[in-house]
Chain A
Amino acid sequence: GQNIDQPTEMTATEGAIVQINCTYQTSGFNGLFWYQQHAGEAPTFLSYNVLDGLEEKGRFSSFLSRSKGYSYLLLKELQMKDSASYLCAVSDSNYQLIWGAGTKLIIKP
């Protein structure tokens, strides 16, 4: 079966750095996405990785290791507005998005 695992909840301090991990087992791989979702709102695109390595975009970076079925999202200089759920999603062999349950990130002052 297809499976995406990520921690249910994480807590971090404003101004700090946090790493949210994602492991996956899917039938085929056509890229891994990270989305941010604030409560009651739609997911918004953060990053896309299809090759191994680190993609950096401002305060957010995403890493992928296809051989390990592993990715992480790194958030630097945390702000209170970063409190949200972070969803990991993999595009499988049919280009369907398979989603994790999301990691709720709580930022404390």
Chain B
Amino acid sequence: DAGVTQSPTHLIKTRGQQVTLRCSPKSGHDTVSWYQQALGQGPQFIFQYYEEEERQRGNFPDRFSGHQFPNYSSELNVNALLLGDSALYLCASSLMGDLREQFFGPGTRLTVL
């Protein structure tokens, strides 16, 4: 049983560019949450998707958007990249309403130059 997978593993972009990160949830999970983790900090909640809709959103600007597909996989898009967007982006999957079953993917390390 594959756990949560994310792609790519690492990514280097320049300021102003756009990036798309991908996540496939653990088999049987229907909810995907995205987090940003800056170096030496705890994760910050970006948003959560369930039934192909954004259900909750953290304190992130509209440059951060997402999508969930019918197979429950998800994408995170970031437009107009800033240096401060450099971070580890984590995807976590769960069943709706059961955060105890939240499993994290290995993350995508984004570096913005």
Contact = CB atoms under 8 A, between A and B. Distances in A.
B107 interface: yes
Contacts of A97: 33, 43, 45, 99, 102
Interface residues of B, number: 21
Q: Classify chain A: how many residues form its interface, as a range.
A: 20 to 34
Contact of B45 (A48, A96, A100, A101): A96
A48 B42 contact: no
Interface in B50-104: 56, 58, 90, 97, 99-100, 102-104
A95 B99 contact: yes
Nearest to B97: A95
Contacts of A100: 42
B42 A99 contact: yes
Interface stretch (A13-21, A38-46, A66-74, A75-83): A38-46
B41 A43 contact: no
Contacts of B41: 101-102
Given A42-B104, A97-B99, A98-B45, 17 more contacts: A4-B42, A30-B99, A31-B99, A33-B99, A41-B106, A41-B107, A42-B4, A43-B90, A45-B102, A94-B56, A95-B99, A96-B48, A97-B43, A99-B42, A101-B41, A102-B41, A102-B42
A87 B42 contact: yes
Contacts of A95: 56, 97, 99
A43 B100 contact: no
B56 A96 contact: yes
Contacts of A91: 99
A51 to B, nearest CB: 13
A107 interface: no
B111 interface: no
B107 to A, nearest CB: 6
Nearest to B48: A96
Contacts of A87: 42-43
B28 interface: no
A64 interface: no
A43 B40 contact: no
